[in-house]
Structure 1
């Protein structure tokens, strides 16, 4: 769909995502090589937003699997619609005096009773963008479960058989590195580490995503956020928090960021009371 990383970056820019050379190249290679892209980095660096932007820019449906502790195949891949299977079996029993047990059992495990979850929907709906978000929150067994899909763009359902994508989905996996993901999964993917954007790029992101924010206010917010990231905070702010802060200031009709307004709006950019207390004591220096 695109012929170069530069063209992909321009296409992403059209939907409001400003990709640097590294991100554009990694995403382009994932497209061209039909390989999953494993994006790792601190929270708020734009990993999830990249998948959303790719789906918009390439005009592909986005299918998202949000990982969490204890996630299993029934939540991620498929499960059988047991109530409908039971009704179907009762209908067969009522309509036949001599029920063929083997045929009845076989009729229960068809596509009619298969409830597709995100992974299965991605294989059958391809081309699409499949976002496996925060894979580091899942456990080792779930990582192992993903390997066939990442290797072959296919999954095996014991009662049903193999389901294979006619066209591979563009798979984006994200991790906040709360734990190390196993090498077996990483080997099947292209890898890219996302950093927080530089000051100039963050100002550009704010201006792009929030057209009503002037350059002066965007520069003040981006500079303050960069200084916050240098402090020892429990949760340093990401790009999403910078956007929230700038939007909060505009909602208050502020054209510049002063210490009083910053103190009143810290809840838009910081999420722990300990961080807010630490920053309030340093606001004057932070905004100097």
Structure 2
């Protein structure tokens, strides 16, 4: 099936024909789906067959080489924009709660976010050709300053794509490894196209300069930490990420609605 047929079938069978229900659909529900999940590969919500079809429809005119055949590891791959594990660890291996002892209110808020961050508005495309097994996705997540925070990563990517003097050399090498896919996005105009095309406008100002809001906190943070500031950042991060995810998801659904003729 082609991407449009995949989406139409899913919307009819799973969403009772209402494409707007996709906004809050938890992609983890596809874990055991032999067709729309990740058959014969490790399950990852951002790389499910359903999301591959969504990427092709929504971003097919942004990434010129994007297709179902050219999706996945080592190709053009889905990436989760806002992480939960960096700040709050994994719900199935919760190391955040015993270390930080959050309030009941924050615990419930984290639980809700761990659903929200697995919805379509939190998923984007990144080129995935690798150097010694190291991808842009992995570099972004393991970098000592970025820690998988999208605002910090985009600030670094902006410097690479616009050739600022203080760009991250390792990220530059990975971008060059994926030069064919990044080719339309070099320079200030290319950067604007990257932001607009991938619906990442909530991460830049009116001049398309990246805005870094996150403090880069991690659940394993050591040394002295003021808990009041730490929990304030936890609440800000969830609130801001949730707003971005919902805004972006609505725009993606509007594109789907138009291209699926709903």
TM-score by shorter chain over 0.5: no
TM-score normalised by length of structure 1? 0.22
> Rg: which structure is higher?
1
Instruction: Write 1 or 2 for the structure with the bigger share of strand.
Output: 1
TM-score normalised by length of structure 2? 0.24
